């Protein structure tokens, strides 16, 4: 019940804060709009209507009002934007009528009628209204209902852009004169986007014939002497062939070094496991080590894992070190002449409970 009551209090507080936040935002917007409106009037009095119009636009956006609309329409009229001024006067008349301000409605309607004979118009004619045809004027979409219809427009430069799926885009820069009249823009039939030619499929050239490798003739002077049967006692050449040119001395040092590194790692893990185990005892009851806190259990498990890893790395290290020492002791000496048939062979030793390599030598 207490939790439900607390939730109700939080919901009530949120419902109270939302209107308050909205009211604060509206108050700030209204104050900002007032500042912009005052700055715009001073600019218009100084003959800087071009700078005043953007401020009046922002003031109207933040806090709409009939008075702001009237001044904005007058500002448009001063900079020669007759169509914008006419449309804004009409909007002010509608807003004044809705607000019951008959005097302002009359003023706005009168100024709109005075500007109407001075308006310029643009007509967009479409030669072929294909599927997906899109037309924009100065970045604003022109719907199909307005095609062929005279639209009031301010004098000056305007950009008409046309696009359609699978067609090349079209653009026209239109200059509307300051005198009243109609400017017609005819949209031509858009050209198709050229289709890219398919890339040629490369034809692979037949492989060049490879010359047969010449087999060197045997040199009787270099025939190896094999006092023992090659079938029962492999020679040094046979050992090299079986092991792929195995370098016993090099691998002896490599495996021995790896074994030493593994033993060092095992020692570090053992020390860490002992330290974690001793630290875990601090979180257990002195008279009953079996009862430990969560942190003690975590440290104990951490110590157990480190001990297991230490055992594994230690065993691997010993195996690697032993193998490396074996290679160094029994491997053939490359500097000695091959006068005997002694040799060394590595044979796998696999079983259900074992896996390794047997080193076998013949002397």
Q: Are residues 327 and 264 in the same domain?
A: yes
CA–CA separation, 60 vs 70, rounded Å?
A: 11
Q: Can you list the positions of beta strands (E) in the chain?
A: 120-126, 134-137, 140-141, 151-153, 156-163, 170-176, 181-187, 343-351, 354-362
How many CB atoms neighbour CB 221 within 10 A? 5
CA–CA separation, 142 vs 134, rounded Å?
A: 8
Q: Classify residue 213: in a domain, yes or no.
A: no
Sign of CA dihedral 240, 241, 242, 247: positive
Number of domains in the chain: 3
CATH code assigned at 148: 2.60.40
Long-range contacts of 329-337 (CB under 8 A, 24+ apart): 330/248, 330/359, 330/361, 331/248, 331/249, 331/252, 332/236, 332/239, 332/248, 334/249
What was the pLDDT predicted at 256?
78
What was the pLDDT predicted at 196?
75
What was the pLDDT predicted at 293?
67
CATH code assigned at 103: 1.25.40.10
Last residue of a domain, one of 133, 163, 187: 187
Q: Classify residue 215: in a domain, yes or no.
A: no
How many CB atoms neighbour CB 293 within 10 A? 13
The boundaries of the domain holding residue 313 are: 226-362
What was the pLDDT predicted at 13?
43
Q: Are residues 354 and 236 in the same domain?
A: yes
User: What stretches in the chain show pLDDT beneath 70?
Assistant: 1-24, 197, 203-206, 209, 211-248, 284-295, 331-363
CA–CA separation, 275 vs 278, rounded Å?
A: 5
What was the pLDDT predicted at 38?
93
What was the pLDDT predicted at 240?
43
Contact 77, 155 (CB under 8 A): no
Q: Are residues 96 and 149 in the same domain?
A: no
CA–CA separation, 344 vs 25, rounded Å?
A: 91
> What one-character DSSP code corresponds to residue 335?
T
Which alpha helices (H) appear in 100-247, and where do they start and end? 102-115, 236-242
CA–CA separation, 268 vs 317, rounded Å?
A: 13
Q: Please, what is the angle between helix 82-99 and helix 66-78, to 10°? A: 170
Q: Are residues 38 and 131 in the same domain?
A: no
φ/ψ (deg, to 5) at 68:
-65, -40
Q: Are residues 257 and 348 in the same domain?
A: yes
Contact 111, 69 (CB under 8 A): no
pTM of the model: 0.48
Q: Are residues 183 and 133 in the same domain?
A: yes
What was the pLDDT predicted at 5?
41
List residues bridging with 152 in a β-sheet: 121
């Amino acid at each position: 019940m207490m939790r439900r009551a607390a939730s109700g209090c939080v919901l009530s507080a949120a419902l109270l804060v939302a209107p308050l936040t909205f009211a604060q935002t509206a108050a700030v917007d209204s104050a900002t709009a007032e500042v912009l409106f005052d700055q715009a009037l001073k600019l218009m009095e100084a003959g800087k209507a071009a700078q005043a119009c953007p401020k009046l636009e922002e003031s109207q956006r933040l806090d709409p009002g009939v008075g702001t609309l009237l001044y904005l329409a007058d500002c448009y009229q001063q900079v020669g934007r007759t169509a914008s001024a006419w449309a804004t006067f009409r909007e002010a008349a509608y807003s004044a009528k809705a607000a019951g301000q008959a005097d302002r409605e009359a003023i706005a309607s009168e100024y709109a009628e005075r500007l109407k004979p001075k308006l310029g118009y643009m007509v967009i004619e479409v030669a072929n209204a294909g599927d997906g045809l899109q037309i924009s004027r100065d970045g604003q979409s022109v719907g199909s209902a307005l095609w062929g219809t005279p639209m009031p427009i301010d004098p000056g430069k305007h950009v008409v852009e046309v696009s359609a799926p699978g067609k090349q885009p079209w653009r026209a820069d239109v200059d509307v004169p300051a005198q009243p009249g109609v400017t017609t823009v005819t949209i031509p039939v858009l050209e198709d986007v050229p289709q890219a030619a398919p890339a040629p499929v490369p034809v692979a050239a037949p492989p060049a014939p490879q010359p047969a490798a010449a087999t060197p003739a045997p040199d009787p002077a270099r025939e190896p002497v094999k006092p023992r049967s090659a079938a029962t006692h492999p020679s040094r050449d046979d050992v090299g062939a079986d092991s792929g040119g195995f370098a016993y001395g090099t691998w002896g040092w490599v495996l021995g070094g790896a074994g030493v590194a593994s033993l060092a790692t095992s020692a570090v893990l053992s020390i860490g496991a002992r330290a974690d185990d001793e630290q875990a005892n601090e979180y257990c009851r002195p008279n009953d080590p079996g009862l430990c806190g969560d942190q003690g259990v975590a440290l104990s498990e951490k110590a157990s894992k480190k001990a297991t890893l230490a055992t594994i790395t230690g065993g691997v290290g010993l195996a690697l070190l032993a193998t490396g020492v074996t290679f160094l002791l029994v491997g053939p000496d490359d500097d000695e002449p091959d006068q005997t048939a002694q040799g060394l062979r590595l044979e796998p030793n696999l079983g259900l409970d074992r896996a390794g390599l047997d080193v076998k030598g013949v002397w």
